[in-house]
Copies of this chain bind each other. A is one copy, B any other.
Amino acid sequence: MEFATFTKRIADAFPDLSPQLQVAARHVLDRPDDVALMSMRALAASAGIHPSTMVRLAKAFGCDSYKKFRTPFQERLRVLPKGYLARARSLQERGTEGEETLTQEVLSANLANLRDTFSINSFEKFEASAQAISNARRVYVVGMRGVFPVAYFFHYTYSMFRDNAVLLDSRGGAFSDDLRHFGKDDVIFAISFAPYTFETVRAVEFACEHGGTAIAMTDSPVSPLAKNAEHVLIVKNESPSFYHSVAAAVTATEELIALMMVEGGQQALKSIEESEQQLEGFQAYWRQNPKKKNKPRKRKS
């Protein structure tokens, strides 16, 4: 919360800064990780500026020392907020240690999954996958069992601005019926982690046999999905518990959607607006005082 407002303040004041301070500010905004982890002098050097300039930047934003300037950058990186551990310790003495560390493990496993996923898959990979989906005549989405949430999320969000997606969910056992019309201009977006659901693997094979393009979101380059897929996104799903974590997969999906949105431009925005208005029309959303004629509750950004 602190970091976001602070950097925003810097970004807003940017045009009014002196040339050298602008160089410093740009570097700071571009590489917040480095601000937190490197020494001031090293940071200045990597920005190609004099150390004094960094101090001046800090003071220009009301920090009486560089240390205070750096604090929000450091806090942003902490996996566990300050003071969390103090409580953890006291709990431990009460014998609840196991569950407390479990909490930390769930959190850091997921943070690591996110970072790793975006580290393994270059921006170009995301972009290429997004392109392929955007150009498809029809988009078939398949993800079963544990990863069905990912497939559903993709389909739901995608359908806010495009109307050519089909979610395969094998309800009523009619799984293969949905794929009957699959053609060579179509794309299948398949999600599966080990152990791979049979139907998902089969669906990808089917799609490829019929000349279509497959985009796979899976956990390994040697996954049976990857074999046939044109584009492969590797997603980490480590978890301290028995299930596979799907948060990273959801986030990678968000990334795909965001890219397609940007690409879709004005047209996509308009479609979303229409979708929302339609939902309002159906009274899908709760209103503060349904009895009175109130304005609809403002949508959160």
In the complex, which residues of chain B have a beta carbon less than 8 angstroms from the beta carbon of A32?
Answer: 79
In the complex, which residues of chain B have a beta carbon less than 8 angstroms from the beta carbon of A91?
Answer: 123
CA distance A119 to B30 in the complex (A): 26
Number of chain A residues close to chain B: CB under 8 A: 90
A251 in contact with B245 (CB, 8 Å)? yes
Taking the full assembly, how many copies of this chain does it contain? 2
The answer to whether the Cβ of A219 comes within 8 Å of any Cβ in the partner chain is yes
The answer to whether the Cβ of A59 comes within 8 Å of any Cβ in the partner chain is no
The answer to whether the Cβ of A140 comes within 8 Å of any Cβ in the partner chain is no
Please tell me which stretch of A16-24, A152-160, A181-189, A206-214 contacts chain B, meaning at least 4 of its Cβ atoms lie within 8 angstroms of it.
A152-160
B262 in contact with A239 (CB, 8 Å)? no
In the complex, which residues of chain B have a beta carbon less than 8 angstroms from the beta carbon of A195?
Answer: 285-286, 296-297, 299-300
A262 in contact with B219 (CB, 8 Å)? no
CA distance A123 to B145 in the complex (A): 29
In the complex, which residues of chain B have a beta carbon less than 8 angstroms from the beta carbon of A258?
Answer: 102, 106, 240-241
The answer to whether the Cβ of A247 comes within 8 Å of any Cβ in the partner chain is yes
B254 in contact with A160 (CB, 8 Å)? no
The answer to whether the Cβ of A69 comes within 8 Å of any Cβ in the partner chain is no
8 Å CB contact of A285 from B74, B76, B197, B286 = B197
Q: Which residues of A contact B (CB under 8 A)?
A: 1, 4, 30-33, 36-37, 74, 76-81, 84-85, 87-88, 91, 98-100, 102-103, 106-107, 110-112, 114-116, 118-119, 122-123, 126-127, 145-146, 148-150, 152-153, 156-157, 160, 193-198, 200-202, 219, 224, 239-248, 250-251, 254-255, 257-259, 261-262, 269, 272, 283-286, 288, 296-297, 299-300
Going nearest first, the 10 A-B pairs with the smallest beta carbon separation are: A149-B149, A194-B300, A195-B285, A81-B119, A77-B77, A241-B258, A196-B286, A201-B286, A247-B247, A149-B153
Q: List 18 A-B contacts (CB under 8 A).
A: A77-B79, A87-B123, A99-B127, A99-B259, A100-B123, A107-B114, A111-B115, A149-B152, A149-B156, A195-B296, A198-B286, A200-B286, A224-B288, A241-B254, A243-B254, A247-B247, A247-B251, A247-B254
